[in-house]
Amino acid sequence: MYKRYHIETAAAILPSTKIGKFQIIREDKCLNCGRCQELCIYDVHKRDAVDPRRMAEPVSYLCKNCFSCIQNCPQQALKMVLSEESKNLGNSYWMPEKIHTIWNEAEEGKIPVYGAGYRGPFKGSGFDLIWTDMSEIVRPTRDGIHGREYIATAVDLGTKPSWIAHFERLSLPRLFQIKIPLLLDTDGLRLESKNLVMAIVKAASELRTLAFLDIQSYTDELEPYLESIALRIPLESIAAINRAPWKEVNLIEIILSQKFRIKELEQALAELRKHNPQALLSLGLASPFPLEEIFTQFQEKRVDVLNLHANGQGRTLDGNDFIADSIKRLHQDFIKKAARDEVTIISKGGIAAAEHVPKLIICGADAAVVDIALLVAMGCRVCSECRPESCPAEIQKLDPELGRQRIVNMVCAWRDQLLEVLSAMGIRDVRRLRGEMGRAMFYHEIERESFESIFNNGGLRK
Amino acid sequence: MKVLVKGNAGPRFLNSVGKFRVSIGEKCFHCGLCVELCPARVFERKEGFNRVFVTSPARCLGPRCQQGSFFCQKKCPVEAIEIETDPQWKTLGDFRWTPDLILTTWQQAETGEIPQDGLEYRVGNSGGGFDNFDFLIKNSSSPSDQEIDKIDTSISLNRRREGKKISVPVPWYGAGMSFGSISLPVMLARAMAAEAWSTFTSTGEGGYPEELIPHGPHIITQIATGLFGVSEETIKRAPIIEFKYAQGAKPGLGGHLLGDKNTPQVAIMREAVCGTSLFSPFPFHSVYSVEDHKKHIDWVKIMNPESLISVKVSTPSDVDMVAVGSYYAGANIIHLDGGYGGTGAAPEIAKKNIAMPIEYAITKVHRFLLEEGVRDEIVLIASGGIRTAYDIAKSIALGADGVVIGTAELVALGCVRCGNCESGRGCPRGIATTDSELEKQISPEWGAHRISNLYSAWQKQLKILLCQLGLKNIEELRGRTDLLRRINE
């Protein structure tokens, strides 16, 4: 029977994420008249359950900033301030707004929809310097909510030959299809927690994608999900490892340290090929440029995937480049060599919102790897320093089932938002978005194009 | 011009929101000096009380008072008065609509005058686009009333040789906001204000309520992709027909009215079955080319040959081609709706990321139409995030003829931009809702007066600005990018 890819969402409420952006303060001069209760349509104000003559403490996290109670209190006894708890979430990249958004997505699996126009700054840094395009006159890509599931989101990982050299020696390419252009990563904040690993791996299995896992974190409980695990092994420990999982997984990623020996890598690749000829081999490195050299050197050996590792804020370790820019260059380099389809390019780090996925793909990636966002979906607040023993969200105690559902919800919301972006452009397959830089507007280019002739270096024109 | 709307335009809430928090400490012995000193009437000695109360802290002018001889904090014999920035202030507004802009828009709606109390009423804090532009003013002295009176702010909405000549006395008209996305009293308020100012407002895609018929000559009928509430009658009634291809807040995406918002009233207006979800698809399923688009226009012209045609599109990278296509299809107005535009509900990802900001689009389209030699035959209207008189002037300086106003009118009616138009019962402030109880908060007359006052304040600002720029009418400002400068780069 025909079955189309479908993500099953369900409400997954996590009390530790009930942090409002606003705090309502009821001052002592309150006369308990109850006007605020009449006016509030969000149930922030209620009478005290025990003593109904009194108003209860406001339930601040339900407040939606409408000012109705504040502007109508006969005693001017109500005040609204920004909630300290909300302000302290995250950091300059993982801003409180982003964390709240992921929490909402993880709870319901729905696209964030609000009224009123865009309220943020004109531009930012990184992904916030890119706008995606739309088409005014297109063939409809979807009708309503259900039709849009006909937009294809699957991508193939692996190597495709650029051309057929010898028909007689033609072998089918090794490809692994993931159903959404998103891979999950258990690396995140480098927390050791079986519960969290289990939640992520199960989610990957359900979503029919892969979850990256360090070999040290592998436990026998994960065996039923081996198909959905992308095993990550540091180059120097490959020779020493003789455990079952790496013979059965679909993708193995070799982590290269900054100073590795080519010889050693060559041996490792041969070894892995011998024991697991079906697995795709991936190289993970923090800098895009050696990656490209390595790939050229190993073209015969066919590394299938290049995974550019950036830090949590999307910056690569050398040169402090932003991933979008590094991916752009890497993609273009491969195009120049007419070898782009011979490798799959993915990137990890800094993917913090749904819009980052299509933007990274527009810059040339085949798919994005999500790490910290998964932890945020499970309640993480991206504190400046992660101390598991004093985690405010007690994330290590999370029920893996709840964690799995929240990740699935978040990914569903992200997939649906990807569909919005694709349908606005009239694109019916995410593979056609890769490297389509003409379908995006980049701040510096468009600013120059529009205003350079008007303003000369910000100076005055006669 | 003479404005017809009369009556109360004061605030409809007990308490105002202000920038400063004023408190009296325990040392106070209630001498009442502050009550006498304060020009803003922050303090009050109430009848029957032997005490001083801080009754209107929102009026406090803050540290700007310091120079004056009436600065209460310094004059208080026991230093009991404390003035600080109210932490509540930071909870109001956002980068685009700063607390200053919201408050000054409320002030203008109340008084019809240019704000005088030092709050920033010209630009927001988004750090780019309009907020990074300023005018190069040669003569910043305030012009005399006589000079101001001579300035003409009218624009023509039909620049083609054929067809009806329609002009509006101010370079703006009202945006399409559907019945359902806003309440009937708000629709009426907008229509009455449009009538008073001889400009227009648009039905949006939600039908043409009967109550609007008396204001018919000032109502634009919008034809959007769902064709909700569009009939031969509503097309024949309208002086301008607006084809909405896309909306800036959700470019390239359709609309979706959830079943429970499709109340019996809404359903009648939209000629739909109540309780069902209503989809407004993207795009027009009968338009895949400029030729198809022309067919649409011809179809309307047969029903209503007198009407002007406006084509509302959003801002893709090829918006210039779209504009020229609309010109060749016979449109009188090309209306660009940028990404900051308002909406009853739209995916956040679309508002922030899809299609370019309006500032780029105006520049691009204006230039292209000039190069194609057709600029003087079509009216270019910009919308989507036009908040102030200065945004209007900047749009025109970049190359638009005029603008369309949406959110600013709602702010005039008391919108705080909380963004919860779509959740639960709708707008808690009674604007973007069809909840029978919530919508009672606004009377059409009060609303019309507020909007009309805002228009009045804006027109004054535009006239003064034009005087200062040495121009006689608003049409002379069009495309004068040489009068703009960037604040930071």
pLDDT at A148: 63
Residue B351 has its nearest CB partner, among A68, A118, A457, at A118
**B258, amino acid identity:** L
Provide the token pair at B35: 């009550």
pTM (2 d.p.): 0.94
pLDDT at B158 exceeding the cut of 90 = yes
* Residues written for chain A: 462
Closest A-chain CA to B423? A114
Contacts of B420 in chain A (CB under 8 A): 64, 66, 114-115
B151 and B84 in a common domain: no
B24 and B162 in a common domain: no
By CB atoms closer than 10 A (0-12, 13-18, 19+), residue A95 is middle
**CATH number of the CATH domain containing B61:** 3.30.70.20
Spatial separation of the C-alpha atoms in residues B160 and B173, rounded to whole Å: 19
Spatial separation of the C-alpha atoms in residues A370 and A212, rounded to whole Å: 10
Q: pLDDT tens digits, residue range A20-58?
A: 999 999 999 999 999 999 999 999 999 999 999 999 999
What is the pLDDT of chain A when averaged over all its residues?
89
HEC readout, A216-269: HHCCHHHHHHHHHEEEEEEHHHCCCCCCHHHHCCCEEEEECCCCCCHHHHHHHH
- Domain membership of residue B441 as a residue range: 145-486
Residues 124-163 of chain A whose Cβ lies under 8 A from any Cβ of chain B: 130-140, 143-145
A402 and A267 in a common domain: yes
What is the band of A169 on the pLDDT scale with cuts at 50, 70, 90? confident
Tally C-beta pairs within 8 A across A and B: 257
- Number of domains into which chain B is organized: 2
Q: pLDDT tens digits, residue range A93-142?
A: 999 999 999 999 999 999 999 999 999 999 999 999 999 999 887 665 55
**Cβ <8 Å between B354 and A101:** no
CA atoms within 13 A on the CB side of B433: 22
pLDDT at B1 exceeding the cut of 50 = no
Spatial separation of the C-alpha atoms in residues A107 and A125, rounded to whole Å: 28
Give the residue from B137, B179, B191 showing the smallest Cα distance to B344: B179
A176 and A72 in a common domain: no
Provide the token pair at B487: 């604040």
Neighbours of B143 (CB within 10 A): 17
Contacts of B126 in chain A (CB under 8 A): 120-122
Rounded to a whole number of angstroms, the distance from the CA of A322 to the nearest CA of chain B is 18
B177 and B285 in a common domain: yes
pLDDT at A351: 97
Q: Is A390 on the interface with B (CB under 8 A)?
A: no
B82 and B174 in a common domain: no
A202 and A83 in a common domain: no
B155 and B42 in a common domain: no
B443 and B370 in a common domain: yes
Q: Please indicate, yes or no, if residue A354 is contained in any of the structural domains.
A: yes
**Cβ <8 Å between B356 and A117:** no
A196 and A58 in a common domain: no
**CATH number of the CATH domain containing B464:** 3.20.20.70
Domain boundary among B70, B90, B110: B90
Q: pLDDT tens digits, residue range B91-126?
A: 999 999 999 999 999 999 999 999 988 899 999 999
B169 and B52 in a common domain: no
ipTM given for this complex? 0.93
**Cβ <8 Å between B252 and A135:** yes
Q: Please indicate, yes or no, if residue A402 is contained in any of the structural domains.
A: yes
Ramachandran area for residue A298 (φ above 0: left; ψ -120 to 50: alpha; else beta):
alpha
A136 and A83 in a common domain: no
Spatial separation of the C-alpha atoms in residues B287 and B299, rounded to whole Å: 13
Spatial separation of the C-alpha atoms in residues B242 and B307, rounded to whole Å: 10
Q: pLDDT tens digits, residue range A350-408?
A: 999 999 999 999 999 999 999 999 999 999 999 988 888 889 999 989 999 999 999 99
Q: Please indicate, yes or no, if residue A179 is contained in any of the structural domains.
A: yes
Q: pLDDT tens digits, residue range B337-394?
A: 998 988 888 999 999 999 999 999 999 999 999 999 999 999 999 999 999 999 999 9
Q: Please indicate, yes or no, if residue B479 is contained in any of the structural domains.
A: yes
Angle, CA A276 vertex, CA A272 and CA A277 arms, to 5°: 100
Q: Please indicate, yes or no, if residue B111 is contained in any of the structural domains.
A: no
Top residue of B353, B383, B482 to mutate, by most chain A CBs within 10 Å, is B353
Contacts of A41 in chain B (CB under 8 A): 424-425, 428, 438
**Cβ <8 Å between B317 and A114:** no
- Exposure class string for B419-432: b at 16+ Cβ within 10 A, else e: bbbbbeebbbbbbb
Residue B54 β-bridge partners: B43
What is the band of A460 on the pLDDT scale with cuts at 50, 70, 90? very low
What is the pLDDT of chain B when averaged over all its residues?
92
Residue A80 has its nearest CB partner, among B88, B339, B422, at B88
Give the residue from A326, A321, A408 showing the smallest Cα distance to A106: A408
pLDDT at B284: 85
pLDDT at B6 exceeding the cut of 70 = no
**Cβ <8 Å between B91 and A80:** yes
Provide the token pair at B459: 């027109």
A333 and A191 in a common domain: yes
Asked if residue B283 has a cis previous peptide bond (ω within 30° of 0), the answer is: yes
A367 and A224 in a common domain: yes
**CATH number of the CATH domain containing A179:** 3.20.20.70
- Number of domains into which chain A is organized: 2
Q: Please indicate, yes or no, if residue A319 is contained in any of the structural domains.
A: yes
Q: pLDDT tens digits, residue range A396-445?
A: 899 999 999 999 999 999 999 999 999 899 888 999 999 999 999 999 99
Q: Please indicate, yes or no, if residue B106 is contained in any of the structural domains.
A: no
A175 and A40 in a common domain: no
Rounded to a whole number of angstroms, the distance from the CA of A95 to the nearest CA of chain B is 15
B56 and B149 in a common domain: no
Q: Please indicate, yes or no, if residue A120 is contained in any of the structural domains.
A: no
B400 and B287 in a common domain: yes
DSSP state of B175: P
Q: Is A351 on the interface with B (CB under 8 A)?
A: no
Q: Please indicate, yes or no, if residue A44 is contained in any of the structural domains.
A: yes
Q: Which residues contact B172 (CB under 8 A, 6 or more apart)?
A: B199, B386, B392, B402, B403, B404, B405, B458
Residue B347 has its nearest CB partner, among A145, A417, A451, at A417
Spatial separation of the C-alpha atoms in residues B191 and A357, rounded to whole Å: 43
Rounded to a whole number of angstroms, the distance from the CA of B348 to the nearest CA of chain A is 6
A338 and A394 in a common domain: yes
Q: Which residues contact A448 (CB under 8 A, 6 or more apart)?
A: none
Share of chain B above pLDDT 70, in %: 98
pLDDT at B192 exceeding the cut of 70 = yes
- Domain membership of residue A407 as a residue range: 131-446
Q: Is B482 on the interface with A (CB under 8 A)?
A: yes
pLDDT at A349 exceeding the cut of 60 = yes
Give the residue from B214, B193, B170 showing the smallest Cα distance to B4: B193
Closest B-chain CA to A355? B349
**A259, amino acid identity:** K
Phi, psi dihedral angles at A194 (to 5 degrees): -60, -35
Contacts of A98 in chain B (CB under 8 A): none
Q: Is B374 in contact with B410 (CB distance < 8 Å)?
A: no
A253 and A143 in a common domain: yes
Spatial separation of the C-alpha atoms in residues A20 and A243, rounded to whole Å: 47
**CATH number of the CATH domain containing A45:** 3.30.70.20
HEC readout, B247-299: CCCCCCCCEEECHHHCCHHHHHHHCCCCCCCEEECCCCCCCCCHHHHHHHHHH
**Cβ <8 Å between B251 and A70:** no
Q: pLDDT tens digits, residue range B255-268?
A: 777 777 788 888 88
Residue A309 β-bridge partners: A348
Closest B-chain CA to A81? B88
Chain-centroid distance, C-alpha A182? 7
Q: Please indicate, yes or no, if residue A245 is contained in any of the structural domains.
A: yes
**Cβ <8 Å between A134 and B314:** yes
